[in-house]
Chain A
Amino acid sequence: MLRKRATADDLVIFFATDVHGSDVCFKKFINAGKFYGASVLILGGDVTGKMVVPVVEQPDGSYLTSFAGKEARLGAGELQDFERRIADMGFYPKVMTENEFQELRASSERQDELFHTLTAERLAAWGEYARPRLAEQAVKCFAAPGNDDAFWVDDVLGSSDGIELLEMKVVPLDGLEMLTTGWSNETPWKTERECTEPELKERILAMIGEIAEPGKAIFNIHVPPYETVLDQCPELDEELRPVHRGGNPVMTSAGSTAVRELIEKYQPVLGLHGHIHEGRGIAKIGRTVCVNPGSNYSEGVLNGSLIRLKDGQVRDVQLTQG
């Protein structure tokens, strides 16, 4: 049977990350415990979306919007379906008048407010969706923000019943301890939670100091370790466009040297990472198994990893595309 645990004494963790506001991906994540037979669900960082899609009411009763880089005109009967599709892709649809659209267009402050409102609404709706389902499944569910998430996201995530916020905390987990941070090293985009490598190292070391045996810990760190298969992404030029040679994108390492150094030194049981959507894979650093399930959130596909632990050791890692 698919929905049984592998063995009764295995700890089965389902880890997914970088859902970036995708409604369908979050709902799949909440249902993953029952589907995969996991007893622990961990949602890695970057939970919020990146784009608001205005749907502007027109005098003739139709709606003007953008989809896949093109303008689209919708009939009233198509609106609900369009909004659902946009939400599943991780974006925030917003119906408005032409005047409202023009006012928003002219004011970046008002756009920020709109992002805040829509993001908070979606996170609140996710909390409502998750509560009864998690209670029914009797699974532990953890979530953490990522470098792309605003700081106020922590408060919303932390207030959800049934979901435990992990950011900058050490929590016990079935005889192991897990530290978590959504902070990353510096990126070309100057995102919300990024810092220099030494600062990142200090943040993680502060949590390692709270762990009794770092060698029996799980490092749930959004940014992957440097120079692994988990941190390979397209190299960008000065205008943030990918560099190509011979018709192919040139790949480079974008992970953290601090994270790598600390994993090499403390050799935790498991490293849970995200951040680099293209970096789907499994890597070993010494005896530490590091995982990045990658992300395909805009397709509505939930990339995940099913991790089985026994006696404090990783028994198996299976990457999934649900």
Chain B
Amino acid sequence: MSTLAGERVFLRKASGLIKSASNTDVFIYDIGLVSIGLGLGFLLFFGPAVYLGGNLYVATILAGLAMLAVGLGMLTWTITIPRSGGIYNFGTRSMWPPLAFTLSFVEVTSWLFYGAFGAVYLAQLGIAPAVTAVGILTGNSGLESFGAVQLAGHWGTFIIGTTALIIGAIILSSGMRRFFFVQKVMFTIACLGTLVFLGTLIALSRGDFLGNFNSLMGHRLGVGQDAYHGVIGAASKAGWHNPGYDWSRTLELANWAFLPLIGAAFSISIGGEIKQVTRGQTIGILGAVIGSVVVWIVSFALIFHTMGSNFLGAVTYSNLNAVHGASTPVTPYPTLLTGLGANSVTLTILIALGFIGWIWLWVPTQILYPTRAVVAWSLDRVWPDVMGRVNERTHTPIPAIALSLAGGITFVGMLAFTTFFQLVIFIEVAVLAWAIVLLAGVFFPYRRPDIYEKSPIARIKIAGLPVMTVACGLGTIAAFLFFFDLFFDSFAAGHARHSLEVLIGWFVGAFIIYWIMWFVRRRQGVKIELAFKEIPIE
């Protein structure tokens, strides 16, 4: 029995005709990976303290616009090649396989680094300050010290970070249903925590905040009972100042908004699971960018209204630079300052839980992303076969998860005990990989018209050029601009010698791995290049 589908095609009874992730699902997936809370923490902590003269609003909007351009480019890729697996699929269809593998390798190891980064910040931005704040609010000096000294220390960070990664890996190993359930719960907690945070800021007047801050910190800091103004004074003496608007610092500050916003395009990794790929990915990617930027901007306005921009700059500067008498015992992330300012244990815990929820959303997903790639490499024979094995009971690739976990723990150790990695050096590596893939997208409609002409966007032209060429062109420009922005931002990433060694070494190492596997497979009689080559039609 045949049926009429839509207006002008006929379908027959056959399997698999419906397969889609809804537009809302894609949006949730993407915005969850932006980690609104972590972005807020970065921007409001590093911004006023390190990037003097940097304007948070402008920086965030600039990063949002750049990510929109990158997102549009990736959108055209995923619409044209709607398959799960991210840039590995795009690369193997458009460029030399060793280069495609290299880009995929550096990309997924970068995301793994950010999984570790999230795990470290779960300790340093989430749990340790929350415990310290609760200690302060309840007058429990033991708890206060435990949070500030033990949990925030090297070993505390390493243990919490490693535990978070292990829990994430166990959840992933036990099956995707459990993973999705946990992510949904944490997403709900994160959203509720954010609402409590924003609601508290709306309800809290400057006077209330000042009074509560002074009563809690007046006897703890060495700047007098009026700790609020004392911190501003001490920080100013130590070198903090507000020089007014500075374009170059604003551009550098934008790096901290761009970093979490990259998560908005992560739905390219599930492209094969979205039926209305054009609409779904557009809503998912662009919606996540715009939604995150709006939440951040609203939060900035409320924070500045309640705490004052000078105070925020001074208190974060004092903490980062250990200004004598003005460095708060708890790391002054705005979320915790809000809880302290409200003088409420309950609100502090709820806000902190929300913040922890946002950070958590990064951790297992950043293990999952490399895991999917590792399995794909194994199936293509560019990675050891054992890494592609899937547990028959849980249907999860346990060896690949274990490998990702080992990599993640190594990164946590490096971040907790050494200063080898500049804060976000790996973002340079990932952004460069994405920039190259976007650049390949500029030429894709001309190099592979056989594939591109099947795309739903093939007929759309802008100024006579294929829309993919234009979107990927804009995305390439944005990605390279941010690569250089990071390159010249010595606080976030920079180009110190060891940073460059990491950057270059990662690409070269991945390239060498490909050729080692090529050689090993050749000796086994397997030609790995066959996995990607298109069969010629004669």
Residues of chain A having any CB pair with chain B under 8 Å: 2, 6-7, 10, 24, 27-28, 31-32, 34-36, 50-54, 56, 64-72, 81, 85, 88-89, 91, 101, 104-105, 108, 111-112, 114-115, 133, 147-148, 187-192, 227-229, 232, 234, 236, 240-242, 244-251, 275, 277-278, 280-283, 285, 296, 298-300, 302, 306, 308, 315-316, 318-322
With a cutoff of 8 Å between Cβ atoms, the chain A residues found around residue B388 in the complex are 281-282
Which of B13-21, B191-199, B474-482 lies at the binding interface?
Answer: B13-21
The answer to whether B184 touches A114, judged by C-beta atoms less than 8 angstroms apart, is no
User: Once bound together, how far apart are the Cα atoms of A277 and B19, in whole Å?
Assistant: 11
Q: Within the complex, what minimum Cβ distance (angstroms) separates B521 from chain A?
A: 9
User: Quick one: CB contact mask for B13-37 with A, threshold 8 Å, 1 for yes?
Assistant: 1111111111011111110100000
Chain B residues with CB below 8 A from A189, complex form: 13-17
Report Cα–Cα, A34/B530, bound state, in Å.
Answer: 13
Whether the pair A51, B19 counts as a contact (CB closer than 8 A) is: no
Complex-state Cα separation, A108 to B3, whole angstroms:
7
The answer on a CB contact under 8 Å between B183 and A36 is: no
Counting contact residues on chain B (CB < 8 A from A), the size range is 35 or more
Contact A111 B2 (CB under 8 A): yes
Q: Which residues of A contact B270 (CB under 8 A)?
A: 248
**How many Å lie between the Cα of A89 and that of B453 in the bound state?**
11
A234-B273 in contact (CB<8A):
yes
CB pair A133 B538 closer than 8 Å: yes
> For residue B368, which residue of chain A has the nearest CB?
A248
Write the chain A residue with the least CB distance to B11.
A51
List residues of chain B with CB within 8 A of the CB of A188: 15
Closest B-chain residue to A300, C-beta based?
Answer: B454
Answer whether residue B529 sits at the interface, using C-beta atoms and an 8 A cutoff: yes
- Is B451 an interface residue when CB atoms closer than 8 A count as contact? yes
Chain A hits for B27, CB < 8 A: 247
**Interface residue from B1, B26, B29, B451 paired with A112 (Cβ < 8 Å):** B1
Tell yes or no: B463 within 8 A of A by CB: no
Alpha-carbon gap, A240 to B3, bound state (A): 16
In the complex, which of the residues A232, A246, A322 contacts B533, with contact meaning CB atoms closer than 8 Å?
Answer: A322
Contact B379–A282 (Cβ < 8 Å): yes
Q: Quick one: which of B377-392 are within 8 Å of A by CB? A: 379-381, 388, 390, 392
Which residues on B sit within 8 Å (CB–CB) of A68?
278, 456
Alpha-carbon distance between A112 and B11 when the two chains are bound, in angstroms? 10
Contacts of B379 in A (CB 8 A): 280-282, 319
A/B interface sample: 6 pairs, CB < 8 A: A85-B454, A115-B2, A234-B19, A247-B180, A277-B16, A318-B528
A-B contacts, CB under 8 A, total? 205
Q: A244 and B25: CB pair below 8 A?
A: yes
Q: How far is the CA of A320 from the CA of B528 in the complex (A)?
A: 9
Q: How far is the CB of B498 from chain A (nearest CB, A)?
A: 38
Q: Closest approach, in angstroms, between the C-beta of B20 and any C-beta of chain A?
A: 6
Partner of B9, one of A54, A147, A285: A54
B536 — which chain A residues lie within 8 A by C-beta? 31, 35
Q: In the complex the two chains form, is B10's CB within 8 Å of A104's CB? A: yes
A245 touching B180, Cβ below 8 Å: yes
Q: Which of B11, B380, B392, B524 is close to A50, meaning CB atoms less than 8 Å apart?
A: B11
Set of chain A residues within 8 Å of B25, measured between Cβ atoms: 244, 247-249
Complex interface residues of chain B between 236 and 288 (CB less than 8 A to chain A): 270, 272-273, 276, 278
Which residues of chain B come closer than 8 Å to A234, judged between CB atoms?
19, 273
What is the bound-complex CA distance between A52 and B24, given in angstroms? 31
Docked CA distance A115–B4 (Å): 13
Structural contact, A54 and B10, CB atoms closer than 8 A: yes
Chain B, 68-108, CB within 8 A of any chain A CB:
81-83, 92
CB distance from B487 to the nearest CB of A (A): 33
Chain A hits for B179, CB < 8 A: 246
Task: Return the chain B residue nearest A293 by Cβ.
Answer: B379
Cβ contact within 8 Å between A24 and B537: yes
What is the chain A residue whose CB lies nearest that of B22? A244
Considering the chains assembled together, what is the distance between the CA atoms of A307 and B329 in angstroms?
Answer: 64
Give bound CA distance, A298 to B17, whole Å: 12
**List of B residues within 8 angstroms of A105 by Cβ:** 4
Of all chain A residues, the one with the shortest Cβ separation from B175 is A251
Once A111-B2, A308-B525 are accepted as A-B contacts, the answer to whether A51 and B83 lie under 8 Å apart by CB is no
Chain B residues with Cβ below 8 Å from A250 are 176-177, 180
- B187 within 8 Å of A by Cβ? yes
Contact A300 B451, beta carbon cutoff 8 Å: yes
CB-nearest residue of chain B to A305: B379
Residues of B within 8 A of A190 (CB): 13
Most buried by B among A53, A191, A228, A248: A248
When distances are taken between beta carbons in the complex, the residues of chain A under 8 Å from B538 are 31, 34, 133
In the complex, the answer to whether A50 meets B14 with C-beta atoms within 8 Å is yes
B353 → chain A, closest Cβ, in Å? 18
Question: Shortest CB–CB separation between residue A283 and chain B, in angstroms?
Answer: 7
Is the CB of B6 closer than 8 A to any CB of chain A?
Answer: yes
CB-CB contacts below 8 Å: B427-454 with A: 450-451, 453-454
The answer on a CB contact under 8 Å between B392 and A321 is no
Contact of B12 among A27, A112, A232, A302 (CB under 8 A): A112
A303–B28 Cα distance when bound, in Å, is 31
| B497 at the A interface (CB under 8 A) | no
Q: Are A241 and B184 in contact (CB under 8 A)?
A: no
Decide: A299 near B2, CB < 8 A? Known: A246-B28, A281-B379. no
Q: How far, in whole Å, are A247 and B2 apart by their CA atoms in the complex?
A: 33
Residue of B nearest to A91 (CB): B9
Note all chain B residues with C-beta closer than 8 A to A69: 6, 276, 456
